[in-house]
């Protein structure tokens, strides 16, 4: 069964009940730690708290031989909105 974050639901389907909140999960982490949690909507594989407490999300880029990239959440959302034109 697919899991969707509160943030994805707010952007794409406000009537869809969310399974978890990215910011809430981030707040539970200690600095420098991550959790594997999947948001099918965004394609996120995990959440981390960076060394400056920034919110990081793990994204798989198949064109990069399947390597996972950690991206700041705000940049990820900015790119997502541009790519899917959901503003």
22 CB-near residues (< 8 Å, 6+ apart): 5, 6, 7, 39, 44, 47, 55, 57, 73
Indicate whether 1 belongs to any domain: no
- At 86, the pLDDT band (50, 70, 90 cuts) reads low
Indicate whether 20 belongs to any domain: yes
Q: How far apart are the first and last CA of the chain?
A: 27
The C-alpha angle 75, 77, 82, rounded to 5 degrees, equals 95
Domain count, the chain: 1
**How far is residue 10's CA from residue 4's CA, in Å, rounded to a whole number?**
10
Q: Which domain holds residue 52?
A: 6-84
| Contact by Cβ (8 Å): 86, 77 | no
pLDDT of residue 2: 79
Digit-coded pLDDT (tens) for 23-76: 999 999 999 999 999 999 999 999 999 999 999 999 987 787 878 999 999 999
């Amino acid at each position: 069964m697919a899991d969707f974050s509160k943030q994805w639901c707010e952007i794409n389907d406000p009537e869809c009940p969310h399974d978890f909140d990215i910011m809430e999960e981030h707040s539970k982490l200690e600095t420098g730690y991550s959790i594997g949690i999947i948001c099918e909507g965004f394609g996120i594989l995990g959440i981390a708290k960076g060394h400056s407490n920034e919110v990081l999300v793990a994204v798989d880029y198949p064109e990069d031989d399947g390597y996972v990239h950690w991206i700041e959440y705000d940049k990820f959302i900015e790119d997502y909105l541009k790519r899917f034109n959901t503003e």
